[in-house]
Structure 1
Amino acid sequence: MSFFKFLFLALLMSLAGCTHPIVAENPEMYSNSGSIAPYSQETFEEYVSETTVWLNQNRVFHGAGEGKELDAVAPYQIIPSNPNGHGILLVHGLGDSPYSFIDIAPVLADHGYLVRVMLLPGHGSRPADLENPDVEDWYESVAHQVSLLEGEVDNLWLGGFSTGTNLVTKYAAESSGITGLVLFSPAFTSKDPLVKYSSFASRFVDWVSLEKEENYTRYDSLSMSGAALYYKTTVSVNQALQDNTLPIPALLLVTEQDELIDTLDIYQTFATLFHHPRSELMWFGDTTIDDSRVVKYPMTIPDLYIQNGSHISVLFSPENDLYGRRGIMRQCGGSNEGEIYVIDCPRLPTLSYTAWGLFEKDAIMARLSWNPYFEPTMTRVLEFMQKTDADL
């Protein structure tokens, strides 16, 4: 369903004074805790400890086990057994959590990087808590974690997924001292042109989408305030790139059929504003781009029943317990007369995989939530980082 349809239906519901049955079933999940986790601690260890306490007090748990859920959404660090003196701060996307990097972070640490994964204000607790932060909380929390990490490493990298890429790219464009960027599914431009109205709409409507919360690693529902915050990051990052020459190399990982992001615009931004000669774009798709800095990974893979990638597919290993080939958080659905419907994923290994919404008529398909090139992807990420570090 389009943003406009969600807005229209939600507005009608609010005017009618109706309570959505999902909210009535579990009202605490969709209510506002009224606070955000503190993020200005003097050490990362204090940040993790105080954030975990806040989550214990404010999170509405899903029933998967409190310890398991806290491990998924709390910030964390991985200290390498053989440190190379370098570090990377990773920032998740809208509605997500540090779990986004559960497969990526250990690989980086195994190769010597001190890895820290932060939790953005408004996340990890309950979907309505995205009403609590303003965009400055996001910028300031990222800047503070950068300041904590930069004093402990020789070279400091920033990485992000989706909205997180907007935050770290803006920081790097406006600040010095960053070695390079690794950007998973950069979200500089939304595919939905109506997202620009989300700030106005948030005055009248609470939700873009209201869903039963089943995924304990992220929000299934999206508040209108959260959509407005995301849009503000797109405006800011594009302005930052226009106003400043990005002086450092960046590696962008982009899925051609990303259902949320305008990938053609992402490539144009890369081609025109990412000037560093060592910057690269890993293109997960079948269209050939005539650019020596673009490396193509075909995403029509019949042997694996893959037709296309998705927004999240760059992140996860095929063996991931939640998002991998047999993952319990797979999303499945079909298409009927242009409308997408959702079903519980059958436990079948022969489902076809594609981006959400690119479902064939009269076929049950799954959103590709894992990276068939996960190992070569991480090899290229590490080679990119190590060559850059060696040049400094």
Structure 2
Amino acid sequence: MSISINNVKSVSYLLITQQAGRTRLFSLLMLSVLSALSFILLPGCASLEGLSEPVSSVSFYDYQNETRHSMRQKRNFQLPDKEAELLWNAPRQWWPVNQPENVAPKRGILLVHGLGDSPWSFHDVALELAAQGFLVRTILLPGHGTTPYDMLSATAEQWQNVVYEQARALKDDIDGEIFLGGFSTGANLVLEYAYHNPDVSGLVLFSPAFKSTSLDWLAPVIAKVRPWLISPEQGASMQTPLRYLNVPANGFAQFYRTSVTARRLLDRPYHKPVFMVVAEHDSVLNTDYLLDVFQHRFVHSQSRLIWYGAKPDNLTDEKRIFIRSDKLPEERISQFSHMGVLFAPDNPLYGREGSQRICANSNDRAKWLACEQSAQVWFSEWGYNEEGKIHARLTFNPYFDWQNTVMAAVLSSQIEP
């Protein structure tokens, strides 16, 4: 199995360790050169301004059909069952349980996936929200759902525009409150919309990518000189039935722009309820920064953060933050992951017995092969190693049902004071 972009979460790490035929010294020199070039090439490229009126809504039905039509023409299908892949990757709607179809729902939520990912990220969360009475919709960000080559020309403005169009379409179809939710990069996009649109009643944020652990500011520079961090000609696997494995440098550059925008907005408090989930050992994100943001910027008394890991040293807001251990030997879980917080243990693709096990969880090819052949693997975040154990990526959440009860309480403002 080839090294995939999902398994190497840092742009700087890729630059130093994954360029075939290049030495570590050369890569470090490249970093120095790019650092110098950044002062020339970066000014202005990270800005992502809020869209103002008029940004018209586009009916979800039209948007969904147009997107599915485009996917049928352009997608590099990975399975013989093309209809299943379309269902997993295309925008989707869940009608609220027990809601008559001729009556407008009272609550709606729009969910936005992360970089290189797909709407399947929210399959289990959407079912739960529909059971709670929400009209639930997912979108597909431009450049996704077809082939990673389409990411070469995608822009953060295109992503932003779809969020704005469909948030406003949802508002038109709801006779009450609208909420927004996002995973990773998607969390940055919905945060931006919410800061500029006070009609949003609250946010649901899973592993929000406000700040990464890497030198992500180099991505816009790298994208100008090296379109792919791992060239497709090297034989790298490009995608799975659910997500991209090899994302071009432009994808990271556009992600970086969304994160800069999020951090700029987070200079001031957000006053609506926020439900947020973070895994302490997330290899992608600066979790100390996320904890600080929640404690000092998400100020609503009903907001809640679920923190999977050990009690943080800088924890000051013990009333609004719930902590659960992410080391569960009885589940063969060594630590929680960036993506695993989203999925139920019985998810048919990513659950305990799911068909889409992610074995490329480190740079050790022998361990990848052992993982693929073993029925008794352990689970962790990318890059975790422990003597005598073979680890796959953790792609499910054993606390999923409990997590849903906390989410429901935040969204309905029923948490005890």
TM-score normalised over the length of structure 1? 0.86
Could you tell me whether the CA contact under 8 Å between 1:95 and 1:218 is conserved in 2? yes
Could you tell me whether the CA contact under 8 Å between 2:56 and 2:168 is conserved in 1? no
Q: What is the aligned counterpart of 1:264 among 265, 280, 288?
A: 288
Pairwise CA distance, 1:334: 7.1
Q: What is the aligned counterpart of 2:244 among 202, 206, 219?
A: 219
Distance 1:319 1:229, change over 3 A: same
CA distance in 1, matches of 2:250, 2:374: 37
* 1:303 matched to 2:330: yes
CA distance in 2, matches of 1:314, 1:335: 20
Q: What is the aligned counterpart of 1:182 among 193, 204, 227?
A: 204
Gapped regions of structure 2 (runs ≥ 5): 1-7, 23-54, 100-104
Q: Deviations over 1:329-352 (max 9, x none)?
A: 21225768x999633634645322
Pairwise CA distance, 1:295: 0.4
Q: Deviations over 1:279-324 (max 9, x none)?
A: 1111011235342211011111121111110001111111112111
Residue 265 of structure 2: aligned partner: 240
Residue 98 of structure 2: aligned partner: 82
Kindly report which structure 2 residues correspond to 1:61-76, keeping only aligned pairs within 5 A, or say none.
Answer: 61-76=77-92
Larger relative contact order (C-alpha < 8 A, sep ≥ 6)? 2
Could you tell me whether the CA contact under 8 Å between 2:333 and 2:379 is conserved in 1? yes
Amino acid of the structure 1 residue aligned with 2:256:
Y
Aligned length: 363
Could you tell me whether the CA contact under 8 Å between 1:335 and 1:361 is conserved in 2? no
TM-score normalised over the length of structure 2? 0.81
Amino acid of the structure 2 residue aligned with 1:228:
A
Q: What is the aligned counterpart of 2:155 among 122, 134, 145?
A: 134
Distance 1:118 1:350, change over 3 A: same
CA distance in 1, matches of 2:178, 2:251: 29
Residue 165 of structure 1: aligned partner: 187
Residue 327 of structure 1: aligned partner: 354
Distance 1:87 1:41, change over 3 A: closer
* 1:276 matched to 2:276: no
CA distance in 1, matches of 2:90, 2:131: 21
Pairwise CA distance, 1:137: 1.1
Could you tell me whether the CA contact under 8 Å between 1:170 and 1:241 is conserved in 2? no
Pairwise CA distance, 1:270: 1.3
CA distance in 1, matches of 2:310, 2:365: 26
- Could you say what the CA RMSD is over the residues aligned between the two structures, in angstroms? 2.6
Q: What is the aligned counterpart of 2:137 among 116, 119, 126?
A: 116
Kindly report which structure 2 residues correspond to 1:1-392, keeping only aligned pairs within 5 A, or say none.
Answer: 3-4=11-12, 6-7=14-15, 10=19, 42-83=58-99, 85-153=106-174, 154-192=176-214, 194-209=215-230, 211-242=236-267, 244-288=268-312, 289-291=315-317, 292-332=319-359, 342-343=368-369, 345-346=371-372, 348-361=374-387, 363-387=389-413
Corresponding residue SS for 2:200: coil
Pairwise CA distance, 1:12: 6.8
Could you tell me whether the CA contact under 8 Å between 1:335 and 1:360 is conserved in 2? no
Q: Deviations over 1:79-132 (max 9, x none)?
A: 123235100000000001111011110111122110010111111000121122
Pairwise CA distance, 1:246: 1.3
Residue 31 of structure 2: aligned partner: none
Percentage identity across paired residues of the two chains:
36
Could you tell me whether the CA contact under 8 Å between 2:239 and 2:246 is conserved in 1? no
Distance 1:266 1:209, change over 3 A: farther
Q: Deviations over 1:31-79 (max 9, x none)?
A: xxxxxxxx97731100000111111111111134211111111101111
CA distance in 1, matches of 2:310, 2:392: 19
CA distance in 2, matches of 1:107, 1:344: 35
CA distance in 2, matches of 1:134, 1:237: 16
Distance 1:5 1:340, change over 3 A: farther
CA distance in 1, matches of 2:357, 2:125: 19
